[in-house]
Amino acid sequence: MKTTVKKLRLLLVLLILLAAGFLISLLQGPVETNFHDLWNLIINNDSTFRTIFIDLRLSRALLAFLVGASLSLSGAILQGYFQNPMAGPFVVGVSSGASFGAVLCIYLGLNIRIIGFSVQSIFAFASGFAIVSLVYLLSQRKGVFKVETLLLTGIAAGALASALTSFMIFLKADSFEQAVFWLLGSFALSDWNQITAVLPYFFLCFIIAQWLAKDMNLLVLGDDVAQSLGCPVSSVRKIFLALSTFLAASSVSVSGIIGFVGLIVPHWIRILIGPDHRYLFLFSSLTGGIFLLYSDLLARTLLQGELPIGIITAVVGAPFFIYLLSQRK
């Protein structure tokens, strides 16, 4: 019962932070606005600042939240999948792979949509999936993952994908901003279309992950044990790999590579509430969303111009990652 109280308390804190984050995001920006303006819009339907509040700030805050939630959920899944609390979409190379796919699509000029899916997100998904499959094949021996091989192959594959991405940008980029967008991430170009490109995937993946959360609890014990406890290992593994890639790819195709969120958030949540994935998936998503919401606030208010958000998450995430490495026995 003690743990239930702890979870409820954390949930309350997170919901307060979430509400506060959205409120600050709505009020902060280059155009001076105050709470009264926002009140006028909501209550009196005064449309003076409608575009600024709704189309610029709300869409941006919502996108930051969704991307953070998607990346953290992806990380929570990957950490379970690789039975390793140091995995994440960036570390395992999925993010870089997805970014490569998205940029390749732009490079080839394929800007069309097929039954609601943009070709760009299909490319991002396919190349992210290729990278994670490669890392999976190289880092396991008889169903056991070696941490060192996992991290090294992930980093190597990610570096290769990033190099190819940079090369294409170098050949064709219209601007320096575009390169920064893909390699360091940004929400500066957010709009409602991008929200529709992330929101449905996030909800679908979240529901499936939650549905299979008990199977994930078994999967982290190793394949043989999981199966003897009733988990259909091979099909569950396939589903989780697809989910984590989908989440990372849809995030990357709207906001570029934002590193470390998917690593540190699920890891930190596991320390707080334990490794039960029935709660881990929910709390990681919520916390990841809040983390990016505030990171984006910093990114757009810290300096005069826009700071790439990937710089902020790396400044927070990289030292944490090093700390984790040093804690290993």
Partner 1 sequence: MALLEVKDLSAGYENGYVVENISFSLKDGEFLSILGRNGSGKSTLMKALQGLLKNASGLITVDGEDISSLKVRHLAKKIAYVPQIFSFSFEFSVMETVLMGRYIHQGRLGGISSSDSRIVEEVMSLAQIEHLKDKKIAHLSGGERQRVFIARALAQDTPFLFLDEPSSHLDISYQVEIYQILKRLQEEKGKTILSTEHNINLVIPYSQRLMFLKEGKVIALGEPEKLITKENIKEVFEADVEIRENIHSKLPEISLIPKAGEKS
Q: Which of 35, 117, 211, 323 touches partner 1 (CB under 8 A)?
A: 211
User: DSSP labels for 21-63?
Assistant: HHHHHHH-SSS---HHHHHHHHHH---TTHIIIIIIIIHHHHH
> Tokens for 47?
């449309």
Number of residues near partner 1 (by CB under 8 A): 28
Q: Which residues are 140's β-sheet partners?
A: 145
- Give dist(CA 73, CA 255) in Å, integer: 16
Applying CB under 8 A, among 72, 84, 165, 313 the residue interacting with partner 1 is: 84
Site track for partner 1 across 130-149, x = CB under 8 A: ------------x-x-----
Taking CB under 8 A as the binding criterion, the range among 32-40, 273-281, 284-292, 298-306 that sits at the site for partner 1 is: 273-281
Tell me whether residue 46 or residue 224 sits nearer to partner 1 (CB atom): 224
Instruction: For the CB of residue 251, give the shortest distance to partner 1 in the complex, in Å.
Output: 25
CA 276 to mean position of chain CA atoms: 20
- Write down the least CB distance from residue 154 to partner 1, Å: 16
100: Cβ contacts below 8 Å, ≥ 6 apart: 127, 161, 162, 164, 165
- Give per-residue burial for 48-66: e unless 16+ CB within 10 Å, then b: ebeebbeebbbbbbbbbbb
Name the residue among 14, 125, 129, 7 with its Cα closest to residue 68.
Answer: 14
Among the listed residues 218, 243, 297, 312, the single contact to partner 1 using CB under 8 A: 218
Binding test (CB under 8 A) with partner 1, winner from 18, 222, 268, 316 = 222
Q: Which long-range contacts (CB under 8 A, 24 or more apart) does 300-305 make?
A: 300/28, 300/29, 300/188, 301/28
Query: Is residue 274 within the footprint of partner 1 (CB under 8 A)?
Result: yes
Q: Applying CB under 8 A, which part among 57-65, 124-132, 246-254, 274-282 lies near partner 1?
A: 274-282
* Residue 29 lies near partner 1 (rule: CB under 8 A): no
Q: Residue 164 or 233: which CB sits closer to partner 1?
A: 233
Please give the helix or strand (H or E) that residue 153 lies within, else none: helix 147-172
Stretch that binds partner 1, among 90-98, 120-128, 271-279, 303-311 (CB under 8 A): 271-279
The kind and range of the H/E element at 15 are: helix 2-27
Exposed (0-12), middle (13-18) or buried (19+): which is 165, by Cβ within 10 Å?
A: buried
CB of 268 to partner 1, least distance (A): 14
Query: 225 to 254, contacts with partner 1 by CB under 8 A?
Result: 225, 227-233
Q: Return the number of the residue (130 or 218) whose C-beta is nearest partner 1.
A: 218
Which residues of this protein are in contact with partner 1, per CB under 8 A? Answer: 80, 83-85, 142, 144, 210-212, 214, 217-218, 220-222, 224-225, 227-233, 270, 274-276
